[in-house]
Structure 1
C-alpha cells in the first residue's frame, strides 16, 4: 500500500513506503558485526532500510557512546553490498556533515536531541540546502509541542521529506516498559500531521525483546506506517541495549507474525454498519458530556458551601473514597484500573478548578 505525504518530494520515496521496515544494530561495534548484521537482514527480504548507531547519547558517562565516525565506512560498505539505503542518528552539525560525506540516505534526530531546541536548530542549520529525508523521534519527556517544534525547525530549513518516530516517553512510575508508549500522544501527532509518515520503535518502548511483537502489532492497529526494530548477530553480547535486540532471523519471524491492516474499505456493508455504531458512540458521548456538566454544577455548589464555612478545597479522605469506589465499580463494569484512575484524575482536577473559581474568582 502506498502512502502519499505532503512533506515528501516525489524524488525522495525512502520514507513514504508503507509498511516501511528499518532495522540494524543499536550500535555499530566492529566492521564484521555491522556488515554481517546488515547482510543477514538483507537476506531475509523483510527490511527496507538499514540502521546503526554511530554516535550514542547515553544517560550516564562511562557507558559505550558509539564507535564514532570511523563506523560510517562500515555502514556505507553494507549499503554497497546489500543495495539497501542506510539511516543514522545525528545530534550535531558535524554529525550531519560526516553522514553526508558517506552517502547516508536518511538521517534521524534522537529523543535526547529533540528535547533540546538549540540542538535541533543546529542540525536544521546544517541541513540548509540539502535534499535528504529526516526522521524525528519524540522527545524523551511527553511534550507534543517540543515534537512539533522539531518538525517545524527541520521544515523551515527546507527539508521536504520528514517523518516521525514514536519511541515512547520517560514517565515516573512506569514499570511495564522501558519507555511508556502513551499512545494518545503519537495519535495526536497523526491527527495534526495526517499525511506525515509515523513509524514505531518498539525496541526502545519495550526495552526487552519479548514484548516487541505485541508493541509492533499495537502500532500497526493504530495505523502507523512502519517499524524501526534493532537487530544484532549476537544480541546478548551487544555493547548497548542488549535486552531489546533480536537476530535478523528472529526479526523475520516476528515480522511474519504481524497483521498489517488497512485504514478503510469500500465494502458498503462494513461502511453502513460502522456508521450506525459511530452514531451510537456520538449519542453516548453527548450523554456523558451532559452528565459531566451536571457533576461540575454540583461541585460548584460544594465550593460555595466550602467558601461560606472557610473549608479547604482538597479533602484527601474524600478523594481516596472516590478512587476506591470508582476502581471497585469500574472492575465490575469491565473497566481497567488504569483507565479509572486517569478518568477520575481529570474529573477531580476540573472539579478543583471549578471550586477554586467559586472561592477565589
Structure 2
C-alpha cells in the first residue's frame, strides 16, 4: 500500500504510522500460535485481532478457547505493543474484554441481526472509551445495521466503527458472503464521520481473492481493512480457506493502491463531466423506457383481472429472464447484474398487477 489511509475520529487516536489494518487469526488456538502470528505482523498492522469466542452455525464445531485466550492476548500486547481486538456477543464477553483491557471490541454479524443482543452489549459498554466496531448483519438489512449503530450511540459510545463483511445468500455465488457494496455505501452516507472497514476475508472465503476485494474496498473509499492471518492457515482450527500467511499479508499490503480522493487536474475533470452528462441523459432515457414498460404491465394486469388469472406466470418469467441474460451477454453485461436488474423489474411488475387485480 503506497499511501496512507485518511484517518478520522478514533483512527487518529491510534497514531498509526502504517495504513490502518486489523489482522490476526480467525481464532486464538494456543498461546504460542497467537504470539508467533503477532510477532510476524507487528510493525505493519495497526491492531491485532483474534477470535476468543466463535459463534458456529451448528453445534459440535470449535467455538473458541474462551476467556483463557484473553491472557494470551495480554502477552501479545506486552511483547509487541500492538492494540488488541476481539469479537463480543454477550454482556459477559464485554465484562471480560474490559477486565483484560482489550482495546477494540467488535459485534459480529450474527449478533447484529438481534437487536436485543446489541442492546445488551450497548448497555454493558455504556460510555466506554474503547473502540467499538459493528459488523453488518448476516442478511442484507440496512435498517438493522443502522439500528445497531444508533443503539451504541445512545449508550454514549463515541469511538464507533463499521465493518462490512458481506451478506449471506441462498444462491451460489463467487463469494462466501456477497458484498452488496451499495449497502455499505448507503450506511457510509448515513454516518459519514464513522470509519468504514472492509473484511475481505469473510466476503471471499478464499485467501486467493482477498487482495482483489480489499482493493475494491479501498477504491470505494473505505477507511481500512480487517484481514485474517495465520502462520499455518491450512491447519487453522476455523475458517482455514480464507486466512493468509503473514508473508502474503505484507505482499498484499504492498500492492494495494489508495487512489486520490480529490482530483485537481482540470482536463481530467472536464473529461469526467462530459461522460457524466452522457450518463445522465441515458439514465433519463432508461427511466422513460421503464415507465412505458410498466404501463404495459398495468394493461396486462387489467386483462388478468378480467380473466381471474394468476399474477405470477412462472413460465413467462423464466422465458424473459433467460432471454435477457442471453442478450445481456451481447452487450457485455454480467449475468448476475442482468438477473438482479430483472428481478427488481419483475418484483415491481408483480406489485403493480397485484394492486390492480385486488383493487388496492
Smaller-chain TM-score bracket = over 0.9
CA contact (8 A) 2:10 2:131 kept: no
Tell me by how many angstroms 1:16 deviates.
Answer: 9.4
| Equivalent of residue 123 in structure 1, options 121, 124, 128 | 121
The unaligned stretches of length 5 or more in structure 2 are none
The unaligned stretches of length 5 or more in structure 1 are none
Mapping for residues 84-233 of structure 1, pairs under 5 Å:
84-233=82-231
Q: Secondary structure at the match of 1:37?
A: helix
Match of 2:232 in 1: 234
Match of 2:310 in 1: 312
Tell me by how many angstroms 1:263 deviates.
Answer: 2.6
The alignment status of 1:25 with 2:33, answered yes or no, reads no
Note closer, same or farther for the CA distance 1:9–1:222 as it changes in structure 2 (3 Å cut): closer
The alignment status of 1:67 with 2:61, answered yes or no, reads no
* Distance in 2 (alpha carbons) for counterparts of 1:132 and 1:187: 25
**Could you give the per-residue CA deviations for residues 142-179 of structure 1, whole angstroms, max 9, x where no partner exists?**
11111111111111110111111111111001342222
**Could you give the per-residue CA deviations for residues 112-153 of structure 1, whole angstroms, max 9, x where no partner exists?**
111111111111001113211111011111111111111111
CA contact (8 A) 1:91 1:110 kept: yes
Structure 1 segments, 4+ long, off by >3 Å, are: 1-5, 14-19
* Distance in 1 (alpha carbons) for counterparts of 2:90 and 2:149: 16
* Distance in 2 (alpha carbons) for counterparts of 1:123 and 1:265: 42
Match of 1:14 in 2: 14
**Could you give the per-residue CA deviations for residues 277-333 of structure 1, whole angstroms, max 9, x where no partner exists?**
212211111111111111111111222222223332222232222112212211111
* Distance in 1 (alpha carbons) for counterparts of 2:172 and 2:66: 32
What TM-score, normalized by structure 2, do the two folds share? 0.93
Q: Secondary structure at the match of 1:119?
A: helix
CA contact (8 A) 2:18 2:46 kept: no
CA contact (8 A) 2:19 2:46 kept: no
* Distance in 2 (alpha carbons) for counterparts of 1:15 and 1:138: 26
Match of 2:355 in 1: 357
* Distance in 1 (alpha carbons) for counterparts of 2:277 and 2:38: 49
The root-mean-square deviation of aligned C-alpha atoms, in Å, is: 1.9
CA contact (8 A) 1:18 1:226 kept: no
* Distance in 1 (alpha carbons) for counterparts of 2:309 and 2:66: 62
Tell me by how many angstroms 1:217 deviates.
Answer: 1.3
Q: Secondary structure at the match of 2:94?
A: helix
* Distance in 1 (alpha carbons) for counterparts of 2:37 and 2:16: 24
CA contact (8 A) 2:47 2:82 kept: yes
Match of 1:281 in 2: 279
* Distance in 1 (alpha carbons) for counterparts of 2:118 and 2:53: 16
Match of 1:262 in 2: 260
The alignment status of 1:50 with 2:55, answered yes or no, reads no
* Distance in 2 (alpha carbons) for counterparts of 1:309 and 1:171: 37
**Could you give the per-residue CA deviations for residues 58-84 of structure 1, whole angstroms, max 9, x where no partner exists?**
112121111111111211121122222
Q: Secondary structure at the match of 2:296?
A: helix
What TM-score, normalized by structure 1, do the two folds share? 0.93
